[in-house]
Amino acid sequence: FAFKGCQKIRGAQIRVLLEAKDFFLFDCDGVIWHGENAITGAAKVVNALIRRGKNVVFVTNNSTRPRENYVNKFTRLGFTDVMLDQIFSSSYCSALYLRDVVKVRGQVFVIGCEGLRLELLEAGIPCVEEEDDPDATIYNCALAPDVKAVLVGHDDKLTFLKLAKASCYLRDPECLFLATDNDPWHPLSGGRILPGSGSLTAALEVASGRKATVIGKPSRFMFECISSQFSGIDPAQCLMVGDRLETDMLFGSNCGLDTMLTLTGVSQIEEAQEYRSSDLTTNHSYVPDYVVDTIADFLPAFEE
C-alpha cells in the first residue's frame, strides 16, 4: 500500500487495510484495555472483526493469569465473542514450550504468580512447591533434586530466597533457564510503574552468568504456538497491533507480519520515527508499518 510506512492512517486507508488482512493479532494492555478499563470502542472493534469472519487472537506478555481469567475479563468488559482458543499468553506459551518443545522431565522451579503455576499444572508440568516455612533461608532450606528448568515470570511476591534458590538451580548447566517475557516495566495510572519480569530475569542472568530463553514477545515462539493451532495461517495476511515498539513491533517484524502501533499505550510516534531514521538497520525492526491513535479508529470502516 502507498500509505505503508510509520505514519498515521485514517478513513479509507484503514478500510482497505482491514479488508486486505484476514488475521488480526492484538496485544492486550495498552491496546484493548488499561488494567481493568477497556479502551473506548475496543469491544465494538473486536466484535465487528469477529462477526465479519476475521480471525482474531490476543497475544499478551502478561503471565500472571490463566487463560480462563482472560475469557472472563473479555466478557466482563463487553467483548462478547472471545473464546479460550483465541488467547495466547506468555504463561500458556511457556507451558507449551516446556511440554512440547523441550519435553521437560523433572520439576520446574517457578518465579511467578499463581496463574503461571496453574497454566503449567494444566499442561501436566510439575512445579517445585512454594516455600511455606517463614524461617527458611538459603542456608537452611531444602533444594529439590530434580529441577530441570527455572522459569521466571512476573512475581509480586518475589523474595530474596526465590532468587537465591533459582541461582542455585541454574548452576546445573542441564537446568534450562526460561523467561515468560522480558518486559522491563509496565505503566500504572498516576505515573507509577511496575518493574516487569525482565528486571527479575536480569538479576538471575547476572547471578548465573547465563542468558534466559524468552518465550513471550518479541520471540517468534508465540507465533509458532498460534500457527500450530490455526492451520494455514499466512504471515502476509496478518496484522499485529500493539502499543510497544520493543515488544509488539519487533515481534511482528520477527515473524514477518505487518505491524500497527496504537498510541493508547507505552510508545509514542516520535520514538518510532527515531528508530526509523537510525543508521543502525537493526533498529528498523521496531518501526511500525502503520500507526493509529486508537483501535477505535477502525470503527468507521465497519459502517456500510
Work out what residue 61 binds among Ca ion, ligand PLP, none; the CB cut-off runs from 5 to 8 Å by kind. ligand PLP
Task: For the CB of residue 184, give the shortest distance to ligand PLP in the complex, in Å.
Answer: 10
Work out what residue 62 binds among ligand PLP, Ca ion, none; the CB cut-off runs from 5 to 8 Å by kind. ligand PLP
Is residue 27 part of the annotated active site? The answer reads yes
Task: For the CB of residue 247, give the shortest distance to Ca ion in the complex, in Å.
Answer: 7
Residue with cell 511500525: 288
Dihedral sign from CA coordinates of 107, 178, 180, 22: negative
Task: For the CB of residue 185, give the shortest distance to Ca ion in the complex, in Å.
Answer: 12
Residue with cell 542456608: 139
Task: State which residue, 42 or 125, has the beta carbon closest to Ca ion.
Answer: 42
CA angle, residues 22, 26, 27, in degrees to nearest 5: 160
Task: For the CB of residue 263, give the shortest distance to Ca ion in the complex, in Å.
Answer: 12
Is residue 85 part of the annotated active site? The answer reads no
Of all residues in the chain, what percent are helix, strand and coil, respectively (each to 5)? Answer: 40, 20, 40
Catalytic residue among 29, 155, 243, 297: 29
Q: Is residue 237 within 8 Å of 55, Cβ to Cβ?
A: no
Local structure of 241: helix, strand or coil = strand
Q: How far apart are CA 93 and CA 114, in angstroms?
A: 16
Which residues partner with 160 through β-bridges?
none
Task: State which residue, 35 or 191, has the beta carbon closest to Ca ion.
Answer: 35
Catalytic residue among 27, 181, 248, 258: 27
Task: State which residue, 113 or 166, has the beta carbon closest to ligand PLP.
Answer: 113
Positions in the binding site for ligand PLP (CB under 6 A): 27-30, 60-62, 64, 154, 183, 186, 194, 196
Task: For the CB of residue 209, give the shortest distance to ligand PLP in the complex, in Å.
Answer: 26
Dihedral sign from CA coordinates of 226, 247, 268, 87: positive
Task: State which residue, 175 or 245, has the beta carbon closest to ligand PLP.
Answer: 245
Q: Are strands 193-195 and 213-214 parallel, antiparallel or unpaired?
A: unpaired
Task: State which residue, 243 or 289, has the beta carbon closest to ligand PLP.
Answer: 243
Minimal CB distance residue for Ca ion: 30
Work out what residue 155 binds among ligand PLP, Ca ion, none; the CB cut-off runs from 5 to 8 Å by kind. none
Positions in the binding site for Ca ion (CB under 5 A): 27, 29-30, 243
Q: Is residue 163 within 8 Å of 141, Cβ to Cβ?
A: no
Nearest to 31 by CA among 298, 240, 265: 265
| Residues annotated as part of the active site | 27, 29
